[in-house]
């Protein structure tokens, strides 16, 4: 690279130091963020440096120490730049010299597992790459404070061997079009920039053979859909995004003419937006596929992404709103700009939008539909998952539907079965129940055919197919999304159409959900709605099992379900009312055939108590060829537990029925108070896809 | 009464109107509170007056309409006084004339039940009294705005018949030393003051026979313990307090020389303080006995009590803190003073204190011990329930222990089994499961002998006896409370000692719990700890039942428990670690004999799904004469779900054992990290009750 070498020159740049130094005294968010970093740096200085021989797995002592070390290096780098105090640089120097004295002697990590290639510092090479991405940024910041001879030692005996370990010993990871590969190329590329090794940068950008078939640019081309969606889902999108954003920022810094943020139709810009659109209004990521459910856009990955997006890509004022809720910025050029504009009162509410986001490199492998209505914690959000399988972390939940309202989950997704960092729970890793339960179709608000999961739970089969997009429309009164899945169950076509519909009689939209199965053979069709709260009313008399509670099935997740009750539904319709938080959700249901309602809860065949308590009402058709389930869910009423007042405990919706349902349309009717409504879904007329009369 | 009749003269007084009118423009809390009231009044004016024939039970349409009517009358009374606008008085006049035209024709309420005497407006006379207490205050405020002829109609055909209905037709309630009686005398007494009927006031104060054996003053003498505790528990204390406070305020106004707030050793003042001390730092009442769990000191009863306590009794600055958290004051003389002093920045944190509060009219019927450590949402609070039975709403939970920490429940009480105002759940009343489950001993963190409840669940038997106070001490390092119960199980003496102990090694105190049973015969002893969260570790290998889950018993609440696992504990000790919220609670346990640990959860024999999900680990000794259970519970670790970091998942406590336990002392030892601790409880030496070495 042609540019003269200056330090620092990634997140924090020499040209901007004076402004950032001033900014940490002026703008509250930057000030607070800097104080946190400085406190961390100062605390680090009070503790003897420890560079232990790597021996423990994730969460173990040596693992945690090496992790703390890179965090301390980064914090001291920032503290050095802002204060100019040599002690921070000396700390980093001393630590890195200790690493340099040992690193080359370390063998492959003893706790390596078969699933991921081992590092030398950590049990997975991935963590080694993350270490280097962080450390090289810290090194860049203290560069001028370390004597040249020590730099030589560190660069020769630590960074060069690490870089070689990554691109050479782990060529397969480095040249892989996968987010682990992105960490690898970011580690090598960033080190190349900082140490002025154009060779490393070239390999990072274009792969070890420098042809561009792999490497960072190819990853940017390949890893996101044209809309910016990452196929593993939002939880991993957040994680995958970080090395992209950091390395892109460095590329932008060192080689601005590449216009990396505009590369491939500004795909990185889109990916940041999609990561945010993949959250509910409380900031939590929609937990499709393997996902930890408490993760929000307050995570450090999105702090980086939001700051850089605002400062280096496009100053969308809605990002300032997110930054304010993140309560933190990176102490950096970007963080300065964000904090300054926030302090100037420029923030606007983040612009959540109903959208269809395609999946697949070409955007032709299904996608995710998101409906949104209302603002803040009154927002209703509905997600229809019609994306591709999403690799190994994907769940077998084709056409799964999630519903959020009043600040939280109404029809939730279980997420992953994992207790992160809890040693006693499989060392904090994914539990066996992630496979036996969380990934199974029945763990989702998704149609289950014949009590088996999609593709019989076979990931290879599942990865061959994706759902088909049918329709996505939004108007003032209707938001609707529809998709089809033909392969999850041989001989069964599944089609789901989900809509939010605003009617004059009600303050909030109704959730309409139409699930249609078509087959020439008889099948059992189960449609669970996982719910939060307590059932307080139903159209049928619930008679829950009093004793000798039995598991509902033997496999496909059914072995984990207690069958609490099984109710015949006399007419082909009925309702279930759930009290949740301070209001009620009544789901009216109707069917083209007589169905049962099964009330189920988790806990069967769970000897280690690994599955969290969850409950569902399941619409169940024991044997039919074609089957259409329709539900209308209304949020109603108000509970004030302090005043002990309750109003509106009865739903206004009644008389739901399916008038007809075939390949061309589904027609349903219901009443709101006395007013009759007819909804027609025209599967074959996309210009007139849904009608309300 | 001698004083000349002025209007208004209860909460809002003529002399103070000018100041309150000014105050609603000056002090934020009063301003906001008034805006709410005015909005309510203005909304009332837009809706046609409706005075329906009483026909529905609690939560039903006519019930809710009559309730709204008194709220509207009160709101319009305030609005009239502040604005001087005649329309509010006219509204009240018109509504009361409609009542006056109908009231005398109404028969006893058709939805009457046997448990409570019926009203004419509502299904219980209690609600009629509440109606009158509110309406007469509203009437007092609009008095000067209603023509004399209309007043005469209203007083003759509405208030006089209501008053007579209460003191004459319902003499039994009126002359009863019970909180329903307090509402009755307050209704009659307030009406007497406002309408200048000294006869009614006299009856209210001294009973229909005016001898003073019953009536308000006798109720003040009888209904609280000398410490101010109300025997039904804090949830009902809050409720019982309101008519006392309102009527006392009126007495203070009309007959200040009685010094009613100083009457009976300032018992009403103490009662207000105890109501607040009966909350956790999140404001929620400790839900002993029948109690709705979401109730907090933000309830309107405590808004009244706190405002009056501050303004008319004693200006304790901690009450201002509570008022600020109530976010509301009464628009009244008292509310003005509170809001003014709050605006002046005079608030201090409410002074939560460890205390022993006696129960019983003479203070000799046991009591409630409360331990407290720390401030705000870091506060640890422990409650030992050693009070008398508490009448019909009492639970069979002698020596029950509750533990709160980190802003919420750790070892919770189930509270009442009731869905307030939910028509489909027994009309919002107490459910059958309140008797079969919530009141039973096993539903509590209380010792159960032979799988039966205290006193075999017989309320008459239980009401004859109360626990005995043993000790209550607090120092810088130790807070301890101890009590004994000899009658709950014939031939078994139970003794529980609960302490918070601060040791140098740990940031927060440990909860020590020693439960001792003494008997000459063999018994089964079960000690459940109801917990929130998820068990993530135990000293024994949990093997939960995989299928065919069975109820643990047939009666006494055991019929509602699923036995999820039953574990032998090899040595006489072990531990259970629970992840709750963002940290962990490890309970180390030890016993004088080999025990089992049963994991149980609710849900068996609950056909209508009325019991909320609850879980316990139960220390269980199948057969022993004497038995001591000891537990040490540590709060440890930190989980940050957004950063996905966890620290301190292992407890520092180990090697717990019971060295000895007899009538004179229990000695237990444990280690914190490597440091050994011995705790000695000297049951017979109250000056040296607990020692730590
Ligand atoms: Zn899932
Ligand atoms: Zn209870």
**pLDDT for res A116:** 84
Q: What average pLDDT score do residues A508-512 get?
A: 97
| Residues A239 and A246: beta-carbon distance below 8 Å | no
Q: What's the complex ipTM? A: 0.91
Region B589-604: what's the mean pLDDT? 96
Choose the catalytic residue: A193, A236, A531, A575. A236
**Predicted pLDDT of residue A4:** 56
Q: Which fold has domain A48-208?
A: Glycosyltransferase (1.50.10)
Task: Inform me whether the pLDDT recorded for A108 exceeds 60.
Answer: yes
What are the beta bridge partners of residue A479? A474, A500
What residues contact B652, with CB distance under 8 A and at least 6 apart?
B505, B506, B634, B636, B672, B673
Backbone angles phi, psi at A164, to 5 degrees: -65, -40
Domain B355-692 = CATH 3.40.50.300: no
Provide, as residue numbers in chain A, all residues whose Cβ is less than 8 Å from the Cβ of B599.
609
> How much is the average pLDDT of A578-582?
95
**Between β-strands B510-519 and B523-531, what pairing exists: parallel, antiparallel or unpaired?**
unpaired
A523 given a catalytic annotation: no
Report CA-CA distances (Å) from A399 to A195, A288, A601, A619, B369: 49, 11, 22, 16, 55
Kindly name the residue from A157, A180, A393, A560 that is annotated as catalytic: A393
What whole-number distance in Å separates Cα of residue B12 and Cα of residue B332?
A: 5
Burial (CB < 10 A; 0-12, 13-18, 19+), residue B650, is middle
Ligand nearest to the CA of A439: 1
In words, the CATH class of domain A1-12+224-352 is mainly alpha
Which residues of chain A does B425 touch, with a Cβ-Cβ cutoff of 8 Å?
536
Alpha carbon distance B132, A299 (integer Å) = 56
Nearest to B646 among A422, A605, A612 (CB): A422
Shortest distance, CA B419 to any CA of chain A (angstroms): 9
Torsion of CA A358, A363, A365, A369, to 10 degrees: 10
Res. B570 pLDDT band, cuts 50 70 90: confident
Rounded-to-integer distance, Cα A677 and Cα A692, Å? 7
**pLDDT tens-digit map of A212-234:** 999 999 999 999 999 999 999 99
Q: Confidence band (pLDDT; 50, 70, 90) for A272? A: very high
- Model confidence at B4, pLDDT cuts 50, 70, 90, reads low
Buried b (16+ CB within 10 A) or exposed e, B2-35: eeeeebbbbbbbeebbeebeebbeebebbbebbe
Q: What is the Cα–Cα distance from A263 to A70, expressed in whole angstroms?
A: 31
Q: Which residues on A lie below 8 Å from B604 (Cβ)? A: 546-547, 549
How many whole angstroms separate alpha carbon A132 and alpha carbon B431? 62
Q: Please tell me which of the candidates A420, A548, A644 has its beta carbon nearest to residue B646.
A: A420
Q: A649 to chain B: nearest residue by CA?
A: B422
Q: How far apart are CA A293 and CA A414, in angstroms?
A: 8
Provide the 8-state DSSP code for A286. P
DSSP state of A358: E
Q: For residue A327, name the pLDDT band (cuts at 50, 70, 90).
A: very high
CA distance to partner chain B, nearest, from residue A643 (Å) = 6
Query: pLDDT of A59-76, one tens digit each?
Result: 788 999 999 999 999 999
pLDDT, position B2: 41
Choose from A642, A643, A645 for mutation: most chain B CBs within 10 A: A642
Confidence of residue A7 (pLDDT cuts 50, 70, 90): very high
Distance from CA of B520 to the nearest CA of A (A): 35
Ligand closest in space to the Cα of B446: 2
State whether B544 and A608 contact (CB < 8 Å): yes
> What is the three-class DSSP state of A9?
strand
User: Which of the pair, A647 or A59, is modelled with greater confidence?
Assistant: A647
Among A303, A544, A581, A612, which would you mutate to test the B interface (most chain B Cβ atoms within 10 Å of its Cβ)?
A: A544
User: Tell me: the pLDDT tens digits for B232-249?
Assistant: 999 999 998 999 999 999
The secondary element (H helix, E strand) that includes residue B487 is strand B478-489
DSSP 3-state assignment of A51?
coil
Q: How far is CA A164 from CA A122, A133, A169, A170, A208, in A?
A: 16, 14, 7, 8, 11
Residue-level pLDDT at A136 = 98
Confidence of residue A646 (pLDDT cuts 50, 70, 90): confident
8 Å CB contact of A423 and B649: yes
What spacing in Å lies between the alpha carbon of B624 and ligand 2's midpoint? Answer: 27
Locate the domains of chain A by residue range: 1-12+224-352, 48-208, 355-692
Residues of B known to be catalytic: 236, 393
pLDDT computed for residue B1 by the predictor = 40
What whole-number distance in Å separates Cα of residue B532 and Cα of residue A332?
42
Tokens of B148: 């004399």
Report pLDDT for B116. Answer: 84
Binned at pLDDT 50, 70 and 90, residue A101 comes out as: very high
Lowest mean pLDDT among A583-587, B89-93, B237-241: B237-241
The minimal CB distance from A542 to the residues B423, B549, B609 is found for B609
What is the CA(A565)–ligand 1 centre distance, in A?
Answer: 24
Q: What is the CA radius of gyration of chain A?
A: 27
Q: Inspect the interface and report whether the beta carbons of B641 and A612 lie closer than 8 Å.
A: no
Identify the pLDDT of residue A143. 97
Tell me the three state secondary structure of residue B143.
Answer: helix
Tell if the CB–CB gap between B548 and A546 is shorter than 8 Å. no
- Interface touch B299/A642, C-beta < 8 Å: yes
Residue closest to A446 by CA, chosen among A365, A501, A438: A438
Q: B599: nearest CA in chain A?
A: A609
B85 CB-contact burial (10 Å; exposed 0-12 / middle 13-18 / buried 19+): middle
**Interchain CB contacts (distance < 8 Å): A and B:** 138
Please report, for residues B316, B349, B660, the alpha-carbon distance to residue A506 in angstroms, rounded to integers and kept in the order given: 47, 43, 68
List pLDDT tens digits, range A397-420. Answer: 999 999 999 999 999 999 999 998
Per-residue model confidence (pLDDT) at position B643: 80
Instruction: Tell me the per-residue pLDDT of A346-385, one tens digit each, with 9 for 90 and over.
Output: 999 999 999 999 999 999 999 999 999 999 999 999 999 9
Nearest by CB to residue B292, choosing from A294, A543, A644, is A644
The reply to whether A1-12+224-352 and A48-208 are identical in fold is yes
Residues of chain A in contact with residue B300, where contact means CB-CB under 8 angstroms, are: 643
Tell me the percentage of chain A whose pLDDT exceeds 90: 92
Average pLDDT over residues B546-569: 97
What span, in angstroms and rounded, lies between the C-alpha atoms of B329 and B348?
A: 17
- pLDDT score at A1: 40
Does the domain at residues B48-210 carry the CATH identifier 2.40.50.140?
Answer: no
Distance of CA B24 to the CA centre of its chain: 32
pLDDT tens track for A474-499: 999 999 999 999 999 999 999 999 99
R_g over Cα of chain B: 27
Q: Which DSSP symbol is given to A551?
A: B
B-chain residues within 8 Å CB-CB of A296?
Answer: 642
Tokens at residue B503, please? Answer: 């040791």
What is the rounded distance in angstroms from the CA atom of residue A422 to the CA atom of residue A58?
Answer: 10
Nearest CA in chain B to A294: B641
Rounded to an integer, what distance in angstroms lies between the CA atom of residue A515 and that of residue A494? 7
The answer to whether A162 and A70 have CB atoms below 8 angstroms apart is no
Tokens representing B228 are 């101010």
Return the residue matching tokens 């990072």.
A204
The 10s digit of each residue's pLDDT in A524-559 is 999 999 999 999 999 999 999 999 999 999 999 999
The residues pairing with A469 across neighbouring beta strands, listed in sequence order, are: A483
Report the gap between the CA of B284 and the closest CA in chain A (Å).
Answer: 9
Note the pLDDT of residue B63. 92
**Residue from A538, A581, A586, A641 to probe the interface with B (highest B Cβ count within 10 Å):** A641
Q: What is the mean pLDDT of residues A238-265?
A: 94
Check B550 against A547: CB less than 8 A apart.
yes
**C-alpha dihedral sign at A451, A453, A456, A461:** positive
Q: Average pLDDT for residues B152-177, to the nearest whole number? A: 97
pLDDT at A3 over 60: no
Q: Return the pLDDT at B115.
A: 76
Q: What is the residue-wise DSSP string for B531-566?
A: E-SEEEEESS------SSB-BS-SSTTGGGEEEEEE
∠B10-B11-B15 over CA atoms, to 5°?
Answer: 75
Q: What is the pLDDT of residue A2?
A: 41
Distance CA A112, CA B245 (A): 70
Looking at CA atoms only, how far is residue B442 from chain A in angstroms? 18
Dihedral sign from CA coordinates of A226, A227, A233, A235:
positive
Residue positions counted in chain B: 693
pLDDT at A441 over 90: yes
Ligand 2 centroid to residue A660 C-alpha, Å? 52
Angle, helix B28-46 to helix B61-83, in steps of 10 degrees: 120
First-last CA distance in chain A: 65
Residue A221: left if φ>0, alpha if ψ -120 to 50, beta else—which one? Answer: alpha
Q: Taking residues B99-120, report their average pLDDT.
A: 92
d(CA B536, nearest CA chain A) in Å? 7
Summarize the confidence of residues A671-675 as an average pLDDT: 95
Chain segment A139-196, per-residue pLDDT in tens: 999 999 999 999 999 999 999 999 999 999 999 999 999 889 999 999 999 999 999 9
């Amino acid at each position: 690279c042609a540019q003269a070498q200056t330090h620092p020159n990634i997140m924090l740049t020499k040209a901007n130091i004076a402004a950032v130094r001033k900014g940490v005294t002026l703008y509250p968010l930057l000030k607070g963020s800097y104080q946190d970093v400085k406190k961390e740096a100062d605390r680090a200085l009070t503790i003897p440096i420890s560079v232990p021989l790597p021996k423990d797995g994730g969460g173990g002592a040596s693992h945690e120490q090496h992790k703390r070390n890179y965090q301390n290096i980064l914090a001291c780098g920032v503290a050095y730049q802002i204060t100019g105090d040599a002690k921070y640089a000396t700390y980093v120097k001393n630590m890195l010299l200790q690493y340099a004295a040992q690193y080359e002697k370390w063998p492959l990590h003893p706790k390596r597992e078969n699933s991921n290639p081992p590092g030398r510092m950590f049990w997975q090479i991935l963590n080694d790459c993350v270490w280097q991405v962080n450390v090289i940024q810290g090194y860049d910041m203290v560069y001028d404070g370390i004597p040249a001879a020590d730099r030589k030692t560190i660069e020769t005996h630590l960074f060069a061997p690490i870089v070689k370990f990554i691109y050479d010993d782990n060529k397969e990871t480095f040249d892989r079009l996968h987010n682990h590969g992105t960490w690898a190329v970011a580690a090598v590329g960033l080190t190349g920039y900082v140490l002025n090794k154009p060779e490393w940068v070239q390999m990072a950008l274009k792969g070890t053979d420098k042809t561009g078939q792999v490497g960072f640019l190819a990853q940017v081309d390949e890893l996101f859909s044209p809309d910016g969606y990452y196929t593993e889902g939002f939880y991993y999108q957040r994680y995958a995004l970080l090395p992209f954003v950091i390395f892109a920022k460095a590329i932008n810094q060192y080689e601005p003419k590449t216009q990396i943020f505009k590369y491939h139709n500004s795909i990185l810009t889109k990916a940041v937006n999609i990561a945010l659109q993949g959250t509910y209004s409380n900031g939590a990521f929609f937990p499709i596929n393997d996902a930890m459910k408490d993760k929000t856009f307050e995570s450090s990955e999105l702090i980086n992404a939001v700051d850089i997006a605002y400062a280096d890509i496009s100053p969308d004022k809605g990002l300032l709103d997110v930054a304010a809720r993140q309560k933190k910025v990176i102490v950096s050029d970007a963080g300065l700009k964000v904090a300054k504009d926030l302090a100037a009162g420029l923030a606007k509410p983040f612009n959540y939008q109903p959208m269809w986001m395609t999946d697949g490199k070409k955007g032709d492998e299904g996608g995710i539909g998101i409906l949104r209505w209302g603002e803040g914690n009154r927002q209703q959000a509905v997600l229809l998952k019609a994306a591709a399988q999403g690799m190994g972390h994907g769940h077998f939940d084709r056409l799964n539907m999630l519903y959020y309202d009043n600040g939280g989950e109404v029809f939730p997704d279980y997420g992953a079965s994992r207790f992160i960092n809890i040693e006693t729970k499989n060392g904090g890793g994914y539990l066996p129940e992630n496979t036996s339960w969380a990934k199974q179709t029945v763990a989702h608000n998704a149609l289950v055919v014949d009590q088996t999961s999609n593709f019989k739970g076979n990931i290879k089969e599942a990865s061959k197919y994706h759902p088909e997009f049918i329709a996505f429309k939004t108007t003032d009164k209707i938001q609707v999304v529809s998709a089809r899945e033909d392969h999850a169950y041989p001989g069964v076509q599944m089609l789901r159409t989900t809509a939010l519909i605003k009617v004059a009689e009600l303050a909030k939209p109704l959730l309409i959900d139409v699930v249609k199965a078509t087959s020439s053979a008889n099948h059992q069709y189960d449609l669970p709605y996982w719910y939060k709260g307590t059932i307080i009313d139903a159209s049928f008399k619930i008679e829950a099992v009093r004793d000798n509670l039995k598991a509902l099935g033997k496999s496909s997740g059914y072995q984990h379900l207690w069958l609490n009750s099984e109710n015949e539904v006399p007419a082909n319709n009925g309702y279930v009312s759930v009290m949740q938080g301070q209001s009620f959700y009544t789901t009216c249901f109707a069917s083209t055939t007589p169905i049962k309602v099964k009330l189920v809860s988790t806990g069967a065949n769970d000897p280690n108590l690994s599955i969290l308590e969850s409950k569902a009402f399941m619409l169940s058709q024991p044997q039919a060829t074609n089957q259409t389930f329709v539900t209308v869910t209304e949020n109603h009423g108000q509970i004030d537990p302090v005043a002990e007042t309750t109003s509106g405990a009865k739903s206004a919706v009644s008389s739901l029925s399916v008038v007809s349902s075939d390949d061309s349309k589904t027609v349903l009717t219901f009443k709101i108070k006395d007013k009759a409504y007819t909804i027609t879904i025209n599967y074959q007329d996309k210009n007139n896809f849904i009608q309300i009369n």
